[in-house]
Chain A
Amino acid sequence: MKAITIIKQSFKAIFANKGRSFLTTLGIVIGIGSVIALMALGAGVKTTISSRISTLGTKNLIIRSGGGLSQNAASAHMGGGASGAPGPTAQEGIGGGSTSTLTTADLATVRDKKKNPYVKMAVGTVSGSAILTTTAGDNRFSITGTEPDHFKIQNYSIGKGAFFSQTDVDNRAKVIVLGSQAATDLFGSKAAVGRDLTISEAVYKVVGVLKKVDESGFTNPNNQAYIPYTAAFDSFQVEKFSGMTALVTDENRVNDAKASIQKTLLANHGIKDKKLADFNVNSSADLLSTVSSITGIMTSLLSGIAAISLLVGGIGIMNIMLVSVTERTREIGLRKAVGAKTGDILGQFVVEAVLLTLTGGLLGIGLGYGIATAAGKMLGFAPAVTPNAIMLAVGVSSIVGLVFGIYPAAKAARLDPIDALRYE
């Protein structure tokens, strides 16, 4: 009865100054909103990336050069330009200045059954890009230099024409296989096979178009083009692979294969300390845990920054509660005269502050959900507002109200009724 009356009165007091109450809670709304949005986006990004990583195949090992292509130098005299590494981390494309370290000799040793008994197949890849003229104007396409086994490892099947052959690789043949989307972009509805494309001043003949495949990893194979790696060496003026992909014989042998490949390559490169390796070998499980920890760190970092606005919001609440206590000094005096005890007044103002922040928290959940949904739509993944995040928001906003409401409330409760009644 008493509690309900106090909550009712608090609502009344809050609604009596609608505009002020709203502005006061805005800090909390924004704080909680951004924490919720960031947590939801973080969870969404993680889910999306995780599902993409799992499509990479649980039996594949991805070997990448320690740094990636020195694409600044490469693109300068290449026109098309070799850009970035094929790997899932974008940092290599940004960094520049690092070099490919994986040689054809390395590839041969990785394939060596004596050294790597659990490696069923392995291919080297060279990543580059070129500007090609599409039906809708010029566009930059990712081009992967590789071998026919690449299509087997990735489970790609041919739609029209054929994959290029090992002979094409050996002959440094200027032939190209297009992803389904790339073919449509370049030639529209017309047949792509048999047409010519110019990459870094060399004319490539289209020999095949892949069937549409599900997006996997961090690249969309449908938008890619594939050429023999030897041709890629020529066109991109490189001599080493930017990466390799190895198919392991058995899912249970992934870690064994990873260890043996590491050992082989370290020996090839004459590096004794594993930490100094100029390459890295990752399974999809490794990538998954890396991504989890990165998104986890990013989410908590950003949420932490957003939480600062909660602190600021809390100070705003305290400020306005102090104003409210001063304005309502005579009301407090009157309440005390008719029998309100110190605890009653304390309770009333704390409840008011908590209701303010809690309302702000609930609005913030709505705002955060809205932002996360809108951002998810734009970026193309589903954000996840978890019950945990909502409970956290409700809890945190209540605690903010409690912490920042207690001082003004104590000030109100300590007022002397005689002074309070006489207050002008």
Chain B
Amino acid sequence: MSENVIELKGIQKVYKTGDEDTAALAGLDLNVRRGEFVAVMGPSGSGKSTLMNIMGLLDRPTAGSYMLAGQDVSRLSVGKRAAIRNKEIGFVFQQFNLLPRTTVRENVLLPTIYGKDKQAAQRVDRIIDEVGLSDRSKYRSNQLSGGQIQRVAIARALVMEPSIILADEPTGNLDTKKSQEIMNLLKDINAKGATIVLITHEESVAAYADRVIRLIDGVIAGTEAAS
């Protein structure tokens, strides 16, 4: 049996808009096992992004507990959350993933500036090779295609060897062929042991995951194993 990397219990997130309280997440439970590839789906307003922000420690839940890699991270200070984001979480965003005017290698190295892991910088060339960009490591971000940009973002997410990779619509700006390439890359990485939580609204993208979670109105409406 494999341990849980993520354990979310009774997670609530309430936003105050004027006099009204809006619950983006209404008591959500979710476990993600080590090495699992989970896709989160749902219509807009279902709480996908809020869930992503809470899992990524960019935001704090109003209520509920969050265990990340065996550590309670529900109520941490801004600084501690930054340190855990650096060490335990790798982000792949839909857009604006890279620093402008900066080389592939420097972009991948970005998290190492803010971390204590001295070995991280030595992994960079191997990881750039893994995502298939070793011949482009000196290229600047504005010289890269959309697919290549996402590869750099994946490499950056891997460099600190985090417990979990959070990918928020990573193929949102790509055409079908490029999307497939990126999803295959994520699948490869997952096969090598990385835990991935992917947010998407495309069934074809979600199909790469081991498990698909459907969110509606801030609660999990259904879970299904992918074919």
Q: Which of B53, B83, B99, B101 contacts A339 (CB 8 A)?
A: B83
Decide: A339 and B100 in contact? CB cutoff 8 A. Answer: no
Give the CA-CA distance A335 to B86 in the complex, in Å: 10
Give the CA-CA distance A97 to B213 in the complex, in Å: 101
Closest to B85 in A: A339
Q: Which of A6, A341, A421 contacts B83 (CB 8 A)?
A: A341
Q: Hey, what's the 0/1 contact readout for A11-26 against B, CB within 8 Å counting as 1? A: 0100010000000000
Give the CA-CA distance A344 to B79 in the complex, in Å: 11
Decide: B114 and A12 in contact? CB cutoff 8 A. Answer: no
Chain A residues within an 8 Å CB radius of B113: 2, 5-6, 340, 344
Interface residue B4 (Cβ < 8 Å from any Cβ of A): no
Q: Hey, what's the 0/1 contact readout for A91-133 against B, CB within 8 Å counting as 1? A: 0000000000000000000000000000000000000000000
Decide: B82 and A339 in contact? CB cutoff 8 A. Answer: yes
Interface residue B115 (Cβ < 8 Å from any Cβ of A): yes
Give the CA-CA distance A381 to B56 in the complex, in Å: 68
Give the CA-CA distance A341 to B114 in the complex, in Å: 8
Give the CA-CA distance A344 to B78 in the complex, in Å: 13
Closest to A13 in B: B101
Give the CA-CA distance A330 to B96 in the complex, in Å: 7
A337-B85, A339-B86 known; A16 vs B101 contact (CB < 8 Å) = yes
Chain B residues within an 8 Å CB radius of A339: 82-83, 85-87, 111, 114-115, 160
Decide: A418 and B101 in contact? CB cutoff 8 A. Answer: no
Closest to B101 in A: A16
List A331-388 residues whose CB lies under 8 Å from chain B: 331, 334-342, 344
Chain B residues within an 8 Å CB radius of A2: 113
Q: Main SS of the interface on chain A?
A: helix
List B84-126 residues whose CB lies under 8 Å from chain A: 85-87, 91, 93, 96-97, 99-102, 110-111, 113-115
Chain A residues within an 8 Å CB radius of B100: 16, 331
Query: Closest approach, in angstroms, between the C-beta of B195 and any C-beta of chain A?
Result: 18
Interface residue B58 (Cβ < 8 Å from any Cβ of A): yes
Chain A residues within an 8 Å CB radius of B210: none
Decide: B83 and A335 in contact? CB cutoff 8 A. Answer: no
Interface residue B156 (Cβ < 8 Å from any Cβ of A): yes
Chain A residues within an 8 Å CB radius of B86: 338-339
Interface residue A57 (Cβ < 8 Å from any Cβ of B): no
Give the CA-CA distance A12 to B110 in the complex, in Å: 14
Closest to A341 in B: B82
Decide: B114 and A340 in contact? CB cutoff 8 A. Answer: yes
Chain B residues within an 8 Å CB radius of A342: 78-79, 82
A-B pairs under 8 A by CB, number: 59
Give the CA-CA distance A417 to B89 in the complex, in Å: 15
Query: Closest approach, in angstroms, between the C-beta of A69 and any C-beta of chain B?
Result: 72
Query: Closest approach, in angstroms, between the C-beta of A422 and any C-beta of chain B?
Result: 9
Closest to A337 in B: B91
Interface residue B59 (Cβ < 8 Å from any Cβ of A): yes
A2-B113, A5-B113, A341-B114 known; A331 vs B85 contact (CB < 8 Å) = no
Q: Which of B79, B110, B156 contacts A341 (CB 8 A)?
A: B79
Give the CA-CA distance A336 to B87 in the complex, in Å: 13
Give the CA-CA distance A14 to B178 in the complex, in Å: 35
Q: Which of A12, A335, A337 contacts B58 (CB 8 A)?
A: A337
A331-B100, A418-B53 known; A338 vs B93 contact (CB < 8 Å) = no
Closest to B79 in A: A341
Query: Closest approach, in angstroms, between the C-beta of B204 and any C-beta of chain A?
Result: 25
Q: Which of A16, A335, A337 contacts B56 (CB 8 A)?
A: A337
List A257-302 residues whose CB lies under 8 Å from chain B: none
Decide: B101 and A12 in contact? CB cutoff 8 A. Answer: yes
Chain A residues within an 8 Å CB radius of B97: 334
Chain B residues within an 8 Å CB radius of A336: 82
Chain A residues within an 8 Å CB radius of B156: 338
Give the CA-CA distance A340 to B85 in the complex, in Å: 9
Give the CA-CA distance A2 to B86 in the complex, in Å: 15
Closest to B56 in A: A337
Closest to B111 in A: A338
Query: Closest approach, in angstroms, between the C-beta of B67 and any C-beta of chain A?
Result: 20
Q: Hey, what's the 0/1 contact readout for B120-139 against A, CB within 8 Å counting as 1? A: 00000000000000000000
Query: Closest approach, in angstroms, between the C-beta of B201 and any C-beta of chain A?
Result: 17
Decide: B59 and A338 in contact? CB cutoff 8 A. Answer: no
B residues whose Cβ falls under 8 Å from a Cβ of A: 53, 56, 58-59, 78-79, 82-83, 85-87, 91, 93, 96-97, 99-102, 110-111, 113-115, 156, 160
19 further A-B contacts with Cβ under 8 Å, apart from A331-B99, A334-B97, A337-B91, are: A2-B113, A5-B113, A330-B96, A334-B110, A335-B110, A337-B85, A338-B86, A338-B91, A338-B110, A338-B111, A338-B114, A338-B156, A339-B85, A339-B87, A339-B114, A341-B82, A341-B83, A342-B79, A418-B53
Q: List 19 A-B contacts (CB under 8 A).
A: A2-B113, A12-B101, A12-B102, A331-B99, A331-B100, A334-B93, A334-B97, A337-B58, A338-B156, A339-B83, A339-B86, A340-B113, A340-B114, A342-B79, A342-B82, A344-B114, A417-B58, A418-B58, A418-B59
- 4 interchain residue pairs of minimum CB distance: A339-B86, A339-B114, A338-B111, A341-B82
